[in-house]
Amino acid sequence: MFAVDAETLTVRLLEAETRGRSEYGLQVLADLVTALDLGDIDPRARVLKPLDLPAFAILDGSTGIGQVGASRAMELAREKAATAGIALVICRNSQPCDDVRTIAELASRANCIGYCTTSSGKASLTATGGQNWLSAHPAAWSFPAGETVWTTGHTLSQELLQSLESGSLALTQGLLSLALTAGISSSRLPAAKKKISPYGAGAEHCCLAVHLSVIQADAHWNETFSACLSQADSTLQRVSIADLPETLEIGEELRTTLLDVARQARVALPDSLKS
């Protein structure tokens, strides 16, 4: 893997770990190394740009690491939004990016409202007609607020789709994700993906950035957003815009996982992880 891509992956995993979402953190390395060994992920992949417009672009992830493809998409979206005010970038032919909140957060670090949704893996959820045609379709929003960022996100489940209270909203969210990922990029729908492994089936990511300064919304944004926060539910998470910690305490289970990953990948780990 190229050094810059390895650094991007490492930062995304550590961000998830320090945000309290360890299921998307360092333990993901075990699945990634297995997918690399199986050939589902191309370690030398380059993110290409087959379509580039002033406020829109389509990237091709070349079956590379999903965290890398999604990060490049959001970085490009916020770059274009700095000129156009709002920009949408799709990354197709990628792999699962896991924690979409950290991707959306990238936009808010540049004074943008950020949105990220992804479509990965074969269809596993039944919505209508008795057939599986949706996957989990995780999505997240991110909002800048001075020196902090607020994020919120959701993931579809069969329970949500079948609920009388949330079923209609969950279905709408799934359809929106499908339209913004597979629909716009002309990629396969989850129902057309056959491999059980999400890394074998591929993924598409949609990244949106709205630049508050460019659209001249800065003056009243903090006041308006603060008022909205008072009515928000507990799914909103506050994130400080700061460097990652130099050290990270991990549990015995994660330490064992990392040691196993190191042996599988034939790389050496620091002595601090071996003791």
Give the integer Cα–Cα distance in Å for 267 and 98.
24
3-state secondary structure of 194: coil
Residue 87: CB atoms within 10 A of its CB come to 26
Give the integer Cα–Cα distance in Å for 35 and 261.
12
Taking only the tens place, the pLDDT of each residue in 135-193 is 899 999 999 988 889 999 999 988 888 885 667 888 889 999 999 999 999 998 888 88
**Could you tell me if residue 8 is inside a domain?**
no
Positive or negative CA dihedral for 160, 161, 164, 170?
A: positive
Q: Specify the pLDDT at position 275.
A: 57
The two structure tokens encoding residue 92: 């197709």
As separate numbers, helices (DSSP H) first and strands (DSSP E) second, the chain gives 11, 10
Task: Report which DSSP code applies to 128.
Answer: S
Residue pair 65/33 in contact (Cβ under 8 Å)? The answer is no
Instruction: Kindly give the parts of the chain with pLDDT less than 70.
Output: 128-129, 164-166, 233, 269-275
**Could you tell me if residue 199 is inside a domain?**
yes
245, exposed or middle or buried, with CB in 10 Å at 0-12, 13-18, 19+? exposed
Task: Provide the residue range defining the domain that includes 62.
Answer: 41-244
**CATH code of residue 100:** 3.30.1370.60
Positive or negative CA dihedral for 180, 185, 186, 188?
A: negative
Question: Kind and range of the H or E element at 237?
Answer: strand 237-240
**Could you tell me if residue 17 is inside a domain?**
no
**Could you tell me if residue 6 is inside a domain?**
no
- Please count the structural domains in the chain: 1
- In angstroms, the Cα distances linking 218 to 9, 145, 173, 225, 226 are 32, 10, 28, 11, 13
Q: Specify the pLDDT at position 165.
A: 66
The two structure tokens encoding residue 111: 């004074």
Instruction: State the pTM of this model.
Output: 0.92
**Could you tell me if residue 182 is inside a domain?**
yes
Which amino acid makes up residue 3? A
